[in-house]
Amino acid sequence: MTNVEGWLQVSELGLGLVLSAIIGLEREIRQKSAGLRTHSLVGVGAALFMLISKYGFSDVLRTGQVILDPSRVAAQVVTGIGFLGAGLIFVRRDSVRGLTTAASIWVTAAIGSAAGAGLPLLALAATGAYLIVALVFQYGAQRLPRSGTAISLLRVSYPDGRGILRQVLRVATEQGFAVGELATDGGDAHSGNGHGAGATNGQHLVEVVLHLHGKGSVNDLAARLSELPDVRAVTSDDANVPVDD
């Protein structure tokens, strides 16, 4: 008995390519690290592994002697694709990026496996589900009620020894935020005796990181703080704003 390969298998491989390319195109448009080519290759590879497991061992199978379990290949694809996803997740300062792209890689492998296993309806349905989650859920999440307990981050850089920290705390309180934690980098924020995180025109700079919680807009607070005299830079990470990663 010879191995089975023909236009049916080629069409299943092609379906894996097309569906995974659709997901990759969405990631490519959003300028993500894993885009069209990465997702297409993952989907084609997963589909090919499934086709090999289904049809690639017919010449060695013997009834009652050699028994093949194709489902084991699907399990190995799920495990093996993890190394790609792990490489896409990284931590930048206090936030995590790449989780959505890593999840899309994982789903693409599943879609490719379904296409290779001869389950085109499931593969198509999963692709549609991904597009709904990636495109529709994003706008829905932006309209959810804001959390008053989620921790947002705010970083403010200013010359040391100017008493600016007191102004920052006052403005944050006026905007309805509570400061849960505060850390400085680059010297004593209350005096001019620190060495500074950097220097501009001979002035030592301090960066203070505030952990805030409240229902206001951290981005609006950052814009307000950036207008204070002597404030050099303000960056924010609003926990209530969904991150497109």
pLDDT digits (tens, 9 = 90+) for 130-153: 888 888 877 766 666 655 566 777
- CA geometry: angle at 110 spanning 82 and 46, to 5°? 80
Span of 19-23, 24-28, 85-89 with lowest mean pLDDT:
85-89
Residue 191's pLDDT is 38
The residue among 172, 164, 155, 167 whose CA lies nearest residue 221 is 172
Which pLDDT score is estimated for 203? 66
Task: For the chain, give every residue range classified as CATH 3.30.70.260.
Answer: 152-237
How does pLDDT run across 201-234, given as a tens digit for each residue? 556 788 888 888 777 777 788 888 888 887 888 8
pLDDT value of position 145 = 61
pTM to 2 decimal places: 0.60
SS3 string, 106-141, reads: HHHHHHHHHHHCCCHHHHHHHHHHHHHHHHHHHHHH
Neighbours of 145 (CB within 10 A): 7
Q: Can you give the pLDDT at residue 197?
A: 46
Measured distance CA(219)–CA(202) in Å, rounded: 30
**Between 188 and 79, whose confidence is greater?**
79
Q: Residue 26 has what pLDDT?
A: 87
In this structure, are residues 53 and 73 in contact, taking their beta carbons and an 8 Å threshold? yes
Confidence at residue 148, expressed as pLDDT on a 0 to 100 scale: 56
| Residue whose structure tokens are 């002697």 | 65
Residues near 196 by beta carbon (within 8 Å), at least 6 away in sequence: 160, 186, 187, 203, 204, 205, 206
Percent of the chain exceeding pLDDT 70 equals 71
- Which residues have a Cβ under 8 Å from the Cβ of 80 and sit 6 or more positions away? none
What's the confidence (pLDDT) of residue 121? 92
* pLDDT tens digits for range 25-47: 888 887 777 788 888 988 988 88
What is 152-237's CATH superfamily?
ACT domain (3.30.70.260)
